[in-house]
Each structure stands twice: as C-alpha cells, then as structure tokens.
Amino acid sequence: MPNTNSATVANDDYEVIGEAQWQILENVVDEEIFKIYGYKYSKLRAIIFHTVCVALCGLPYFALGYYPSLNRFKYLKCSLKMAEEICVMDAEGSFNMEKVLEMDLNIANHNNKLRYFIYQHTRFVWLNDQGVFVNVQSLNEKLTINLLMDNMSGINKRQQNELIKLYGTNSVEVEVKSYWTLFVNEVFNPFYLFQVFSIVLWSLDEYYQYATCVLILSAGSCMLALYQTKQMSINLHKMAGSTSSCTVSVLRPSRAGREECVVNASRLVPGDVLILPPDGCVMPCDAMLLTGNCIVNESMLTGESVPVMKGPPCPSQEIYSTEGHKRHTLFAGTHVIQTRFYGNNQVLAKVVRTGFYTAKGELIKSILFPKKFDFQFYKDAVKFVIFMFCIAAIGMGYSIWLYLQRGSHAETIVLRTLDIITIVVPPALPAAMTAGIVYSQQRLRRNKIFCVSPPRIIICGKLQVMCFDKTGTLTEDGLDLYSVLPHQPGERFGRTVVEVTALPPRSPLIQALASCHSLTSIQGQLKGDPLDLKMFEFTQWVLEEPGPENTRYDNLTPAIVKPKSAQNELQDLDNYDPLTMEMPYEVGLLRRFHFSSSQQSMGVIARVLGQPQMVYFVKGAPEKVAGMCSPDSLPENFSSVLHDYTSNGFRVIGLAHRKLDRKMKWVDAQRVKREGLECDMTFLGFLVMQNSLKPETTQVIKELHEADIKQVMVTGDNIMTAMSVARGCFMVQPHQKLVLITVGHQQTDDTRPPLCMEVVGEGGPPKLASDIYVLALEGKTWSVIRNYYPEMMSTVLNRGIVFGRFGPDQKTQLITALQGEGRVVGMCGDGANDCGALKAAHVGISLSEADASVAAPFTSQEQNIRCVKLLALEGRCALSTSFAIFKYMALYSLIQFFSILILYNYFSILGNYQFLYIDLVLTTLLALSLGRAAPGPVLAPRSPPVSLVAASSILPLVAQVALVLLLQLAALYLLRAQDWFHQVEGNPELEVVLCWENTVIFIVSAFQYLVMACVYAKGWPFREPFCANYYMVLTLVTQSVFVVLLLFCPWQELADLMEVKVFKWEAQEENIFRIYLLLVPALHLILAIAIEATLSDTHRFHDMFRGLRRRCDKQPGAGDAAHVC
C-alpha cells in the first residue's frame, strides 16, 4: 500500500505566501530539476489570442509548434491547489502545458479526490495535506524489507482497482503515431515553413524550374524523414513490448488464507504477490523475491550475457530500494530462465514498480526524452543565420529604396525585396549542413559502429576527456586463473599453487573454491560469472543440482559439489564421526549470499556431508575479507603480498571461512543475517586471476595521448589493479607518478575525515607541486571529497586518471562533474554497470548489443576501444566538414547577394536557368562533394575550431566577402572600360537578362563559387588531402570546364538557354576581353588561398600579429636612438 507520509519534494527556494503558485520537483533517476506553475484557462484571453492569430493569417499557430510557451497567453496564473493546467519548465528552459486530471479514489476506506498530471509518462499526484505535487512512485519509497515481506497473501480485487487509479496501468507501450500526425509535426518545422515560403515566392516570380526542383527535393526529404521517424517509433514500440496480451498468476487473500488468481499483466499494481512459474517467464514488472530462487538473464538491461541467481532478502528494518537490492529484485523485461524452491513451496515475488516506473520503463523514457546538449557550433550557427537575416534586411532596404526611386510597381518591389531573403538565407542550408554527418555515419556503419543520434558525431570532434571502464573494455572479458596462495599456520604466506593436486583434497580452501560461487546448471551446462567458472574448473569438482531423480537432501539443499573422482581416503578422527566414514565426500550448499557491489563480497553457508556443523565460506575484495577475519588468522605479510600482485595488474580475491554453531539448523540458516556471520572468520588465502589487456588497447591509448585527449579509467575493480593496468597500457605515462589519495583514520575533532596522499612506489607524500603527478582514488575517497572537500574537486578532475572501486552511481557523478568543468566528455563501457554513465556522457559508446545499449548514442559491434579512435577521427572530420560547408554556404549566399544587388542597379537580373544552374547544379554538387571528404589517417594534436564567431573564423570570412565584392566590381569596371561596351537601357517595369553586365557577373560569380569550394575543401589534418576527395576534384574540373565553355560559348542554342552573350569569331575585342576575364578567377584563387592560409590558422595569425606589433614597437625606439646620437 502507498505510504503517503514518506513523500518528499525538493523545494529549497520554495516560499509559501498564501497558496503556492509554483514548486520545484526533482527527477531522482536523471537528477534533473524542473519547476511547475499553476494556470487556469481564461475564455477572454483565449478569444483575444485566437482573434490575433486569425488577424495575422494564422502565422502564430505555426509559431506555436516552435514556441509552445506562447500558449501561456490563454491562461491566468493561479495556485497549484486550484490549477487546471500545469506549466512544466525544465533546466533547459523547454516549456510544456499538462492538464490536471481528477478522479475519485478510495484507499484505506477514505474517499479522496485524486488530482494529478502526467509529464513524460510520469504521474505527479497532489497531496492536499502537504500542498505539493509529488511523483506517485515516491509513495512507495522508504518501505522496509520487513514491511514488504509481511504480507504474503497479496491484495484483494477492490484494492487492486483503486491502486490502478493511483498508479495507472502496468504498461510501457509506446504509441506509434500515424503518418498524418507525423506530417503535421514535421511541416511545422521552421525549415519546411521557409521552404514553402520560398517555393511560393519563386512561383510568383515565374521561377518555376527551381521552385519545382526544390518542391520535389523537399517532398522527398520530408517523406524520408517521416519514414525514418515512423520506423524508429515502430522499433521502440516493439522493444517496449506489450503487457496487455499476457496473463500472470497472483495471490489473493481469501477466507481459507489465500488463493491463486489469473489476471492480465497490465492490471498489476505495487503490492500484488506474483507466482513465478517453474519454467520461467519474462518479467512484466519490477518485483522483490519473497521466497525461492531465480536464475535470470538480465542482458536486456545490463548487457551481461551471464545469467545471475537471485534470492529473497533477509528480513530487516533496512529501507528497500531496487538499486541497493538488485540481487533480490527481478526487473521488468528480464528473462527468468528457471525458478527453484524448497519442498512444495512456490516462488513468490512482490510487485514494487509497474509501467514506466520500472527499470525498463525508465530506459524507454530515456530514449523518448533524451537529455539535450548545447554545442558551441550549433549555437553559433543560429547566431550566424540571424546575422544573415540582418544582412538580408539591409539588402531589402536598399532594394526598396532603389525600386521606389525608379517608380516601379508595388508588386515588383515586393517580389524583388522578398527574393533577397531566399538569397541571403538559402533554403538548402540545413540539408547541406547534414551532408558531412550523413557520410560520416555511413563510414561508421561500415566499421560496425552504429549511431542513434547523428548530431553527436560532430560533438565527437571536440572530445576532450575519454573515460573507460576496465574489465571487458580495456582488458579481456575473461579472467585466467594465475595461481592460488594458501595460508597455512606456521608457514610464510606467499607460496603459489598452480595445480589443484598440490592442495589437500579436504582442506577448507578447496571447499571454499568449490562452493563459494553463483554458478548454476542450465540444460547441463554451467553458467555464471566467468571468474567463478575459472575458479570452479580449477578445483576439478562437479556441481549437481537436485531434480526429480535426486531427493537425497529432500529438496532442502539447492545444490551439492563434489570431486569428480570418488575420494576413499580415511577421514580425520578428530573432526569426523567414525559412523560416517564411508559417506561420500560432498558439500551441500544450503544458502548463498550473492555478490554485492556495496559489500564487495559473496558468501555461502555449506555443510560437508557427515560433518556435525555448518561452515560459512566467503570470497571477495581482500581488504573486505581481511576486515571479517580475526587478526590472529591474518599473515604478517598480508598487505605486502597483496600489493605485489595488484601492482602487477593481477586481480586478487580473498577467501575465508568460519565454522558455525552446531545448534544451527537449516531453518536458522535461511533466517540468519549476513552481518552476524561475517566476523571472527579464519583467513584461507588468495585466489589470483590474470586479466590481460586487449591487443588494440595500448595503441589506441597512445594515439589518444598524441591527440591531446585525456583518458580516465573508472572501474569497480581494485585500485591497485586499476593503477597497474593504467601503467601497462600507458594511460599513465612513464614519466608520470601516481599519487594515491585515501581516507585516513579520524584522530582530531575535525568533522571532516582526513585525507592521505602517497606516491605509489615511493611510499611518501608528494614533495612538491608538479605536473608529473597524477591522481588515483577509490569510490569512498571520491564520496568524502565530494561531501567534505569541494575545494579539491577541480584538482581531482584535472589530475585524476585512475578511479577504482567506483559504483554505477559514482561513475555517473564523475562524468557529470567533468562536464561541469566545461569539458566534452566521452564514456566507453561494456554496458554492465555503465548505463547511467553512458547516458550522461556527451559521447557514450557501448560495447554491448543489449537493449540497454540504445541508451548510449553509439554502439560498437567490435568489442574493443578502436571505436573511440574511429569516432574521434570521424567526429573531427564531420566537424571540420560542417564548418567548411557552413562558411561555403555563407559565401555562396553573399556572392549571389552582391550579384543581384549589382544587377538591380543596371536594370538587370539573373535568368531562371542561371539561377537554376547556380542553386541546383553548381552549389549543390559542390556542397555534397565537400561533405564526402574522408577523415585523416591520424589524430592530430589539436581539434578543429568550433566557434563560428571567433576572430579566426570571422576575420578570414570578412576578408573573403570583401574580396568577392571587390572582384565583381573590378570585373564590371573592366567591362565599362571597353570601347565597344554600351550600357543596357532599362525601365522601371523591364529587367534585361541578356546583356554584358549580366554575362560578366554570372561568369565571375560562377567562378567564385568554384574558387571558394576549392579553398574550403582543404581540411588536413582533420580530413584527407584535397586531391584524395575524387568527387570534389571531378566536380571542380567538370564545372570549371562548363563555365569556361559558357564564357566562350559558340553555340547559339546553349547561349540562349543560359542567357549569356554568344561567342562571335569576328568580334575580336570582345573575345580579348573574355580572355582577360579569366584573370579574375585566377587572381581570386591566389588571394583567397592566401587569406585562408594566414588568417584562419590561429597560430600563424597570432605569430603574424605579434611580428607586426614588434615591428611597430621597434620603429619609434630606433628613431629615438638616432636622435640621441
């Protein structure tokens, strides 16, 4: 049942004056904060709003699609208690209006009016006594394990009906929108609206050819976008699945105690008790196991293909949470392979979360509502487009003044003025901008890297910090058993054993290795953690699990382990009952305490057949196991041996055991708490595993270093092992020294825990501040620094390289903290414990093909980090290409802008086919060819520029614009200097196309497009050399030949089509002028390359500026010196 007293709300700056009109809510899963405001619908305001919209020809309705905040004008602000609509504003400033719904609710015999609203598939309910809206899931928080395990009979049908009203149905279905709905949403995009405006304008200007081509291209683009959106929606719908078609068995209270009922899975609510079938099922909700054990395949969520065993928690007053009690929770969408129970008991689980509140629901929501990232390039692009609109406004003003001076008709003035907008801000700009990204995505797909968010490819180009998981990412997935180090009293610890025959067959160490694991047999094959498999294979024992034919333990023992060959040796009379000497040597596994990341260990209660008492075995992190053991049982050189192995990259597991009280029975073993067992244990030894680096790791790390991309290792493994791996793959450079930060013992009254710093390998603190020191720390140290030493966070983030023993939440915290420093951060992991970090990072790369990997923007089918290098290369190439295309499209617009304004002065204009050639053939081919540039072969030490408004971008662009205008005017001046030239005579209503002014401007501007494409095609080292882009070379050659052909066009038909002056053999002076005209593009090419080579190169520009400054400083000094002499 919901606990309404436990609901909390974040309202730090929430000031109540009368009834609150706004409130702060927090999304705990994504750590997002958003504000809500109360509104009421106003009929008067709505009438005024719609009247204004109609008066403005419906344009505001189109604006609503892009600026939904305009909807507020139809509402009045009011208190949240009286609100009919809720305005939700998140941290990014996005605006949503959600309707407040009401229904009658009867829970605990209290009739209530339930007020709620739904935002991004999350329901927020109104708590009248607290005067706040809260996430409905918070009503189920702070429930103890005891409280959840108390009621094993479930809830009755009436309670279920009322709880469905409160929580909603158990469904994560994603709506597949119709093509019509998608079309309406798509055409409200400003890009398509501008396309429609341009097509109408061109049609009115009788520019039908280009209008038709743009209409066809826009329609094709729109249909393709609709198809892709529809397919993505269908795929997401299939992934989400449906619960309405399946049924489940639940328990209902009855007069006889309880009874089984079959219900539709969509009607499950928190509090229901599920009966899990013996042959398994796909979980329809999140549920906590109450009885029995389950073998679960969680690859859908975690990416781990290894099945895990789950069991019920120990009864306690501990607050239950799905994150903290993963080993006892069955998550929605995961596949329960088998269920196991004791005797005739059923396997029961209590529903704790349903619908979009489940782990699967949260995953679907993260895909439906991805986190938004602001990237400098995109923000600058918007600013630049606004600037271009300002230039268009200036041109429009000049055009209006010019045509008014001539006395032209209003229709001509409007058409010519509006035409300026479509010239200065080309409708093809967004399509051209995506060309580089599309080609990069295709190349990535060929390298088996798949992208669900193409705009992130450009962000890869500015990658500054790359975080890596260790196991399965930098190192191989599997572990090889290196040796076992047994501890014998009276013997110096450290003797290595590589063969099981070197250990006594009945020693507690062998028993611990054979029994302390989570392995299970599925269809005759052992399944489980790879480490457990290697450990168990080393013992040469076998695992038998009870089935219908095996009833020796009366189904009270889930499994037994025993040596492959029967051992007939006599047992020690001191330890064994003589009556049981002939019993076979077998160990029964009575209860398993599965591995916990927080406790970093696992344990098992076992019993050797014939022994009078049970034994508790534990294995885990050596530091944790040492803390469980009595100090007398630990060898003196425990720490030094551990340090020797971990510092050499080995993974070390500690083992210990404890004999339990003879009075402890099976029932007691099922109820005993783990904490009561893990004390006063006897240390048994170390299990040493070898985890080798993947072949590609070291080379990729080296190349990332050369590219000035910082690498960070963040792993759940031992910090010493992590540091060794970081050294081995040269993540930590040979000249660098690692400083390990640890939490010391509290010795003063200071409330802050002390921190200790030790230079690894030298045994003391760092002697002086130096760049050669880099930091390593564990998860617990990270928590202390975050909470008590915030002033150190910047140093840790800047100098930190190795982060060990980090939990999934801490990995996400690290990513977020690095982003808070203003860095572009990537994360590469295998998906097991990295989903949160992969989602939080700017560039998340999953090496898993599980469904959880779709939460990451990139997925690599190759299980190594070569994908990071490829993404960095493609990202830099795409960023450099997009930068070049944007500058080219800006120059293209301004070249045509100047051409049109110059021709307006001469009563002329470009012809329809001239426009068509420039806009559709020349510019489109050149922009697409620019986009086809492949990445350079190596990562350069610097990344491409990202700001379009930086001096190194603006200065060369301004210089190129000035050069373009100057050369167009120079060509006209050269034309007017000819004796044979006669200026065109026009009038206010007649614009002459076929004239020398038009021909000169058209030819010169066509060459200018080619020259600027040639200049911006240079992209080394981020793109391949210019000559390697064969499409670009071919386009430049063919179009240059065609433009020269138009200049010297001897065919009347072609000249008439393109409306240029035909070449006449007898007109020698004109022909000489045509030859001279070729000097303009040649001069333009030389000067444009010079401008780009000097001004756009930041380092060269600064050097040149400093040189000029020094020269200016020297001249006055030299004059003064001469004067003194």
Catalytic residue annotation: 469
Q: What distance in Å separates the CA atoms of residue 207 and residue 921, rounded to the nearest whole number?
A: 16
CA geometry: angle 541, 544, 550, nearest 5 deg = 145
Q: How many CB atoms lie within 10 A of CB 887?
A: 21
Maximum distance among all alpha carbons in the chain?
A: 129
φ, ψ for residue 973, nearest 5 deg: -60, -40
CA 685 to chain centre: 42
Residue among 901, 27, 857, 964 at smallest CA distance from 456: 857
Q: What distance in Å separates the CA atoms of residue 15 and residue 590, rounded to the nearest whole number?
A: 57
Per the CB < 8 A criterion, the answer to whether 999 and 1043 are in contact is no
Helix 866-905 to helix 435-446 angle (10° resolution) is 160
Q: What distance in Å separates the CA atoms of residue 1035 and residue 872, rounded to the nearest whole number?
A: 28
Amino acid at 1102: H
Q: Is 1008 exposed, middle or buried (0-12, 13-18, 19+ CB in 10 A)?
A: buried
Cα–Cα separations (whole angstroms), residue 788 to 427, 746, 1091? 54, 14, 53
Cα–Cα separations (whole angstroms), residue 1070 to 708, 1005, 1077, 1099? 58, 19, 10, 46
Helix (H) or strand (E) holding 171, with range, is none
3-class secondary-structure state, position 340: strand
In 107-207, alpha helices (H)? 145-150, 157-167, 179-187, 190-204
Helix (H) or strand (E) holding 607, with range, is strand 601-608
Q: How many CB atoms lie within 10 A of CB 261?
A: 17
Reading the block at residue 384, the tokens are 């630049």
Q: Are strands 85-90 and 101-107 parallel, antiparallel or unpaired?
A: unpaired
Q: What distance in Å separates the CA atoms of residue 801 and residue 799, rounded to the nearest whole number?
A: 6
Q: Are strands 737-743 and 773-778 parallel, antiparallel or unpaired?
A: parallel
- Beta carbons within 8 Å of 393's beta carbon, 6+ residues apart: none
Verify cis geometry, omega within 30 degrees of 0, for the bond prior to 563: no
Q: What distance in Å separates the CA atoms of residue 873 and residue 878, rounded to the nearest whole number?
A: 9
Reading the block at residue 420, the tokens are 């300026």
Residue with tokens 């048994």: 684
